[in-house]
Copies of this chain bind each other. A is one copy, B any other.
Amino acid sequence: MLNVQLLLTGNELMSGDIVDSNSAMIAQNLAEIGVAIKRKVTVSDEFSDLVSEIELMSQQADLLIINGGLGPTVDDLTAVALAEVAKLEIVQHPEALAHLTDWCEKRNFKLNEPNLKQTMLPNGCEVVPNAIGSAVGFKLNINQCDVYCTPGVPVELKLMLAEQIIPSVESQLPTVSHHHVSRYQVFGIGESSLQKLVDEQLPDWPEDIELGFRASMPILELKLTSKTALAKLNKAKWLDKIRALIGDHIVGEITDKPKSFGEHIQHLLRAQNKKITFAESCTGGMLASAMTRISGASEVFDASFVTYSNLMKQNIVNVSPQTLEKYGAVSKETVIEMAMGALDRTQANLVVSVSGVAGPTGGSDEKPVGTVWIAWGEKENLNTTCLYIPGNRYYFQHYVTAISLDLVRRMLINSNEIPKYLIERQKA
């Protein structure tokens, strides 16, 4: 297997002033051709550190991608450091000069001294064209390792990877790769519970299909990676076994990028020609916002209410004062009346209403912080549940929003399952 390593350079990366997204981009591009990065090192623009890392990494790796440090300022030391390790002179590269001259002419820029620095490269290196920026990339073999030096500007790097580096690496790979990744969205089962289920129920899980997770709030990502030709063929079968274990906790397959609940529900509502509305207390607008963040919301959503105070629950969604007096704002009776009021006012087909104690204040013995009543469904088919979701306010609001939308999703796909969270979180 190819030993691939990544060296990132830049003071701004070390200080935390910017978040490094380039290495994720490089890793994703390599993953598409079945190549994994073994090790990644980040250093500041300190010459001696750069030199020693390049020396060490080129000894270990078959392929080393260096990112950053190609720019025009004194901080940009990649070329000089590489020349030092390779014991080569730094010379003006004619191809790099031609590129820069052309680049400046096209933009009506005067070629200046700092820019010229970008044409000074280790003698004998191969230029890697940069379709956008002024600094070319370059490639050199040191210690039997192919070293690519790439620009730190994300759009430049992206094009260079797609057009130059990935095709070149792929052409050197020994055989066709069997590496294949499928990804799924899972809601309502945590990483450890899912791992435990697989361990217990599927003890013969094959070694050449890797089960991975990516925790992301609120929807977990489940990843199946096949590593052999056989595994690639068998993967669907093993996925079916997972489906048998967790059913509709699988929200969907990720084909492009992960979808939010708002997207899933908009899609389902549109297909069924239905509209939704909300009457929110403790989520305070988060449910409405989850729907309207997604373009096309107007086809499935007309209006929504945030009724935070008791008086507004009465005046806006017609909860009766008697109900509030007798059962309180956080009650089955109140969320039912909120839901009915919102349906009446908007003529929507579906509704979610929520009323709970988000905290940190406002809890009581009977209704502690984390208690929430949810009503969801249609006028003639309204369900309710009372859940207990302790934790902080942020977690509570986001999780109540996610559960509410998942309950709607399950209704829209006619699921008969009882989701795990309704069993575990239900308040006695």
Contact = CB atoms under 8 A, between A and B. Distances in A.
Contacts of A215: 153
Nearest to A25: B16
A410 to B, nearest CB: 22
A267 interface: no
A14 B41 CA distance: 11
Contacts of A38: 14, 43-44, 49
A383 to B, nearest CB: 21
Nearest to A181: B15
A214 interface: yes
Given A153-B215, A308-B303, A360 B192 contact: no
Contacts of A295: 358-361, 393
A390 B298 CA distance: 20
A153 B394 CA distance: 15
Interface in A355-393: 358-361, 388, 390-393
Contacts of A114: 192-193, 195-196
Contacts of A393: 293, 295
Interface residues of A, number: 100
Contacts of A309: 298, 302-303
Interface stretch (A89-97, A102-110, A162-170, A238-246): A102-110
A15 B27 contact: yes
Given A293-B394, A302-B308, A424-B109, A286 B284 contact: no
Interface in A93-132: 106-109, 112-115, 132
B425 A108 contact: yes
Contact of A301 (B27, B36, B308, B392): B308
B345 A316 contact: yes
Task: Report whether over half of chain A's contact residues are helix, strand or loop; otherwise say mixed.
Answer: mixed
A178 to B, nearest CB: 17
Query: Which residue, A15, A74, A286, has most C-beta atoms of chain B within 10 A?
Result: A15
Contact of A26 (B11, B16, B24, B298): B16
A126 B278 CA distance: 48
A19 interface: yes
A76 to B, nearest CB: 10
A307 B303 contact: yes
A18 interface: yes
Interface in A7-48: 11-21, 23-29, 31, 36-44
Given A38-B44, A345-B315, A285 B306 contact: yes
A312 B277 CA distance: 11
A72 interface: yes
A214 to B, nearest CB: 5
A312 B191 CA distance: 42
Give the top 8 A-B pairs by smallest Cβ distance, nearest first. A284-B292, A16-B27, A285-B288, A303-B312, A285-B289, A285-B285, A16-B24, A72-B192
Given A19-B20, A302-B308, 4 more contacts: A17-B213, A39-B42, A108-B425, A285-B285
15 contacts: A16-B31, A38-B49, A71-B191, A73-B191, A73-B195, A73-B213, A106-B390, A107-B390, A132-B391, A284-B289, A296-B361, A302-B309, A303-B305, A303-B309, A315-B345
Interface of A: 11-21, 23-29, 31, 36-44, 49, 53, 71-75, 106-109, 112-115, 132, 153, 191-193, 195-196, 212-216, 221, 223, 282-289, 291-293, 295-298, 301-309, 311-312, 315-316, 345-346, 358-361, 388, 390-394, 397, 424-425
